[in-house]
Amino acid sequence: MASMFSTSEMSNIASTLLSTYASFAGTLMLLRSMARELIPEQLRSYFFSLFHYLFTPPSTDLTLVINESSGVSSNEVYNAADLYLATKISPKTERLKLSKTERQKNFAISIEKDEEVVDIFEGIELKWRYNCIEPREKHSAEKKFFELSFNKKFKDKIVDFYLPHVLARAKQIKEESKVVKIYNRDCPRGDDDTGIWGSMNLEHPATFDTVAMDSELKKMIIDDLERFVRRREFYKKVGKAWKRGYLLYGPPGTGKSSLIAAMANYLKFDIYDLELASIYSNSDLRNVLLSTTNRSIIVIEDIDCSIQVQDRENGLESDNSNRRLTLSGILNFIDGLWSSCGDEKIIVFTTNHKDRLDPALLRPGRMDVHINLSYCTVDAFRILASNYLDISNRDHPLFGEIESLIQSTEVTPAEVAEELMRSEDADLALQGLVNFIKHKRSKCHKNEEEVAEIEEANSFKSGNEEKEISVTRKRRSGVRIATRRRPGKGGTKDRLGRSAKMFFH
């Protein structure tokens, strides 16, 4: 090129180009000035937008905006993304949010404002960005939202498959990290509590590994719980509310409360401790139950004595029946129309006296599973010995004697556990348990003898009273009874003889 043009020719060409550019620029400035004066502003804006559209290459990206709330309700996708993205934070992330409430066991980590997280789904790159807009007005809330950007040609795949994957993974994360809580209406309300229920973390350590009960019964309960939680579609297909009712009955100290805690810890279900004594009407009961959440266990302890409900035959159909708590109201809550408000709920009733319950409560559909938690068994003792003394075999010389005593004496698991706690020395603890059971058996035998003597005395007294009544009736009817006198202290006493004869008028 340099050989074709001389230096002077190159200078002339450059000068010509500069002159042309200057003339063109001047013309543009003149046209721009004339356009401002002659063309209306709205028309100029339209031409500018058209020019930008024609000469700007189209974007291949699509951005979905996921707000924190949807109207007055929280946005499920936003909450799921918040949990999900905490597992996708890379070492390149520069800023993170760290939080922990007093009742949380672990730290909560999430991305900070304007931070970006990259996720890969089936080879598709997705970019998440967290945004937060400060409120302009003093009393307004800040606006929080996620932006999800990706190539727009994958829109259907992202909506149909990726976002459901985020929801499912977030649910799994929530269940794994969930802290089981116990709710009560009298419990102080925490930061996370709403409505009429206050809550505390359920610190009860009971699990199915530590609950002292027969292994076969324990397996039956676990199988029933697992079958219940996986049969959502089955309950829907047969037209039944997705709930399950349990009745735990047996003497005090047999592990009813521990079993409930083990069920909650196993399923990761919250517990709602419902005291019927604090419920004043059927409508109050309905409002309380509607405020419970799904995947929860509603516990009504000592159903036989917690409240004296009105009998169904004593005016339940009257106009003011909804102004008091009635048996009908309780039954309607268990399996009536209101029982279908909510899914995956377990209702547990406890009682020390099953025979005192109204038969209407006991039928399937209300109390589906009846579990008898009776006195300590051999299996239960072995579990307790393993838990408290770390003895997992039967080689200890006192095991045989203790098992024999347990089979012949009514002793509760709570009593056995208390004795095993008295010493860390296995020999001393087991010997103390032997002495305790023997003492209790001796005391029970003594009480049985005393009761037998009292019953015999009452029986003899009752028999004499019946005979006297019989004699009086027969005398009044004209029948003469022959008697004989026997000497006694202070005189004689009339007694019926074996050869008594009856004479009719």
How does residue 468 score in pLDDT terms, banded at 50, 70 and 90?
low
Reply yes or no on whether the pLDDT at 35 is more than 50: yes
Pairwise pLDDT comparison (337 vs 407), residue with the higher score: 407
Residue 156 is predicted with a pLDDT of 92
Residue 148 is predicted with a pLDDT of 94
Report CA 489 to chain centroid distance, whole Å. 74
Phi, psi angles (nearest 5°) of residue 9: -65, -40
How does residue 146 score in pLDDT terms, banded at 50, 70 and 90?
very high
How does residue 360 score in pLDDT terms, banded at 50, 70 and 90?
confident
Residue 192 is predicted with a pLDDT of 65
In this prediction, residues 447-458 reach a mean pLDDT of 66
Q: Write the burial class of residue 472 (CB in 10 Å: 0-12 exposed, 13-18 middle, 19+ buried).
A: exposed
Q: What SS3 class is residue 69?
A: strand
Pairwise pLDDT comparison (500 vs 69), residue with the higher score: 69
Residue spans per domain, the chain: 7-55, 61-177, 183-372
Pairwise pLDDT comparison (145 vs 330), residue with the higher score: 145
Tokens 């004869």, located at residue:
501
In this prediction, residues 137-144 reach a mean pLDDT of 76
Pairwise pLDDT comparison (72 vs 176), residue with the higher score: 176
Residue 459 is predicted with a pLDDT of 67
Pairwise pLDDT comparison (234 vs 13), residue with the higher score: 234
Q: In this structure, is the dihedral angle defined by the CA atoms of residues 24, 29, 34 and 36, taken in order, positive or negative?
A: positive
Reply yes or no on whether the pLDDT at 448 is more than 80: no
Residue 20 is predicted with a pLDDT of 76
How does residue 132 score in pLDDT terms, banded at 50, 70 and 90?
confident
What are the beta bridge partners of residue 495? 484
How does residue 451 score in pLDDT terms, banded at 50, 70 and 90?
low
How does residue 142 score in pLDDT terms, banded at 50, 70 and 90?
confident
Pairwise pLDDT comparison (473 vs 176), residue with the higher score: 176
Degrees, nearest 5: CA angle 361-364-368: 95
How does residue 323 score in pLDDT terms, banded at 50, 70 and 90?
low
Pairwise pLDDT comparison (34 vs 243), residue with the higher score: 243
Reply yes or no on whether the pLDDT at 327 is more than 50: yes
Task: Round the average pLDDT of the chain to a whole number and report it.
Answer: 78
In this prediction, residues 40-63 reach a mean pLDDT of 69
Beta strands, E only, 155-264: 181-184, 198-201, 243-249
Q: Rounded to whole angstroms, how far apart are CA atoms 380 and 120? A: 51
Residue 482 is predicted with a pLDDT of 38
Pairwise pLDDT comparison (429 vs 324), residue with the higher score: 429
Residue 161 is predicted with a pLDDT of 94
Residue 486 is predicted with a pLDDT of 42
Degrees, nearest 5: CA angle 31-35-39: 155
In this prediction, residues 278-290 reach a mean pLDDT of 82
How does residue 27 score in pLDDT terms, banded at 50, 70 and 90?
confident
Give pLDDT tens digits for 249-275: 999 989 999 999 999 999 999 999 988
How does residue 6 score in pLDDT terms, banded at 50, 70 and 90?
low
In this prediction, residues 328-341 reach a mean pLDDT of 71
In this prediction, residues 20-34 reach a mean pLDDT of 72
Residue 168 is predicted with a pLDDT of 93
Tokens 């979905």, located at residue:
64
Pairwise pLDDT comparison (66 vs 450), residue with the higher score: 66
Degrees, nearest 5: CA angle 263-266-272: 50
CA neighbor of 263 nearest in space, from 275, 245, 251: 245
Reply yes or no on whether the pLDDT at 13 is more than 60: yes
Reply yes or no on whether the pLDDT at 53 is more than 50: yes
> In the chain, what percentage of residues exceed pLDDT 90?
29
In this prediction, residues 352-378 reach a mean pLDDT of 86
Q: Rounded to whole angstroms, how far apart are CA atoms 283 and 293? A: 18
Selected from 3.90.79.10, 3.30.230.10, 3.40.50.300, 1.20.1250.20, the CATH number assigned to the domain covering 183-372 reads 3.40.50.300
Residue 114 is predicted with a pLDDT of 79
Give pLDDT tens digits for 106-130: 777 777 777 888 999 999 999 999 8
Residue 296 is predicted with a pLDDT of 92
**Taking phi first (over 0 means left), then psi (-120 to 50 degrees means alpha), and beta for anything else, what does residue 306 get?**
alpha
Give pLDDT tens digits for 421-443: 999 999 999 999 999 999 988 88
State the amino acid at position 260 in one-letter form.
I
Report CA 235 to chain centroid distance, whole Å. 19
Torsion of CA 477, 483, 489, 490, to 10 degrees: 60
In this prediction, residues 20-37 reach a mean pLDDT of 72
Q: Rounded to whole angstroms, how far apart are CA atoms 492 and 495? A: 10
Report CA 144 to chain centroid distance, whole Å. 30
